[in-house]
Amino acid sequence: MKIIRIFNNNIILVVDKDGSEKIVWAKGIGFGHHHGDIIESLVPGTVFTKEADSEWARSFLAISDEIPLSFFETTREIVSSAERNLNVRFNPNILITLSDHIYFAVKRAKAEQHFNGPTLADIKQSYAAEYEQAEKSIRAIDKEYHTCLSPSEAGFIAIHFVENEIYVSKTKATDNAINESSIIHELFSLITDETDLDLISPSVRTDRLATHLRFLLRRIKSKKDFQDAANDQLLYFNLCNSFPDLLKYLKVTTEFFEKHFDYQLSYSERIYLLLHFQQVLKVIDAKGLE
């Protein structure tokens, strides 16, 4: 393996013999090495991001310029602990999305700015094990960064755990997750076919959109509507005026849920979807400038 970037003593980016890029994590793996060095053997305890494709690597490189690498190391420990205790394996993208969330959660806590998270009672009831693990994660983050995170952050982290599970032990049901993935893939294919937006090619941003849709499907199944706030209607129309190009994607989505589930999206749900579509387009536009 050839080193092409050294992040710190414990994290490096390498290119393998087959030309694929991998992030390698191990204590001291980067110490004493330089760009271009060849690594013949690895120390015990090395962790590869084996499933990480080039899109994952690009996303990691982009976000690592903004987020201190200590947050990635903290997140990796949290993810490893959760995989052991929950008996699951996570999508590699969780390292990026959860690091991003934890970094900004710590920044908000230090600035004494708190966001309301998902309804904690619903998360605790539906995903008790993931929520308990998220609470442990909060305590680890507070200790590491000398913060006092809002209890709602446990709900956010639990959602990250739930949405990134790609292998679940036989003691946990997987049929629902498979069905949700099938529905989301059908919607993504429909949007790709009927508009100019490619949602089939995987990316971190489309993963976040899929996460939102997965929880929307679960709310529909449990017959729990997403309640609008007092100013959501006004905010929705302001967004429509600001981003008229996004409305064609929203139209396909709303008609899909009306046809398949007889479900009318609330203004709040439409707002979130517009924001997700806008984020996906930002990534596509950025790639077009490369």
Whole-number pLDDT of residue 46? 55
User: What are the pLDDT digits (tens) for 77-128?
Assistant: 999 999 999 888 887 778 888 998 899 889 888 887 665 555 566 677 677 8
Poorest-pLDDT segment among 39-43, 230-234, 238-242: 39-43
CB 78 within 8 A of CB 70: no
Assess if residue 55 is contained within a domain. Answer: no
Task: List, for residues 252-282, the tens digit of each pLDDT value.
Answer: 999 999 999 999 998 888 988 998 888 888 7
- Judge if 180 and 162 occupy the same domain: no
**Residue of 217, 221, 284 whose CA lies nearest to 249:** 284
The answer as to whether 154 is a domain residue is yes
User: 27 vs 235, which has greater pLDDT?
Assistant: 235
Do residue 83 and residue 20 come from a single domain? Answer: no
Tell me, what's the pLDDT at 102?
93
Q: To which residue do tokens 């979130």 refer? A: 272
Structure tokens at 187: 């919607």
Q: What span, in angstroms and rounded, lies between the C-alpha atoms of 93 and 117? A: 21
Q: In the chain, pLDDT over 70 holds for what percent of residues?
A: 79
Same domain for 79 and 150, yes or no, is yes
Percentage of the chain surpassing pLDDT 90?
A: 21
pLDDT at 18: 76
**Domain hosting residue 189, numbered range:** 175-288
* CATH number of residue 150's parent domain: 1.10.1790.10
pLDDT (tens digit, 9 = 90+) per residue, 195-230?
988 887 656 567 778 877 887 887 787 776 666 767
- Regarding whether 132 and 30 lie in a shared domain, the answer is no
pLDDT class of 174 with cuts at 50, 70, 90: very low
41 and 91 within one domain: no
Quick one: pLDDT at residue 252? 95
pLDDT for residue 259: 92
64 assigned to some structural domain: no
Which of 124, 153, 168 lies at the terminal end of a domain, its last residue?
168
In this structure, the answer to whether residues 278 and 182 fall within a common structural domain is yes
- Look-up: residue for tokens 């793996």? 29
d(CA 166, CA 51) in angstroms, rounded, equals 12
Q: How many domains does the chain have?
A: 3
Q: The domain that contains 23 carries what CATH number?
A: 2.30.24
Confidence of residue 287 (pLDDT cuts 50, 70, 90): very low
- List phi, psi (to 5°) of 45: 90, 5
Q: Is residue 84 domain-resident?
A: yes
**Which tops the pLDDT comparison, 13 or 176?**
13
Average pLDDT rounded to a whole number, residues 239-260: 93
Least confident of 62-71, 151-160, 183-192, 273-282: 62-71
Q: Say whether both 30 and 130 belong to one domain.
A: no
Stated as kind and residue range, the H or E segment containing 159 is helix 152-163
Same structural domain for residues 99 and 151? Answer: yes
pLDDT for 266: 87
Q: Which residue has the higher pLDDT, 44 or 98?
A: 98
Q: Is residue 62 part of a domain?
A: no
Q: How far is CA 157 from CA 1, 19, 78, 97, in A?
A: 34, 34, 10, 10
Half-sphere exposure in the Cβ direction for 156 (13 Å, CA)? 19
For the chain, give the mean pLDDT. 79
Same domain for 281 and 205?
yes
- 164 in Cβ contact with 181 (< 8 Å): no
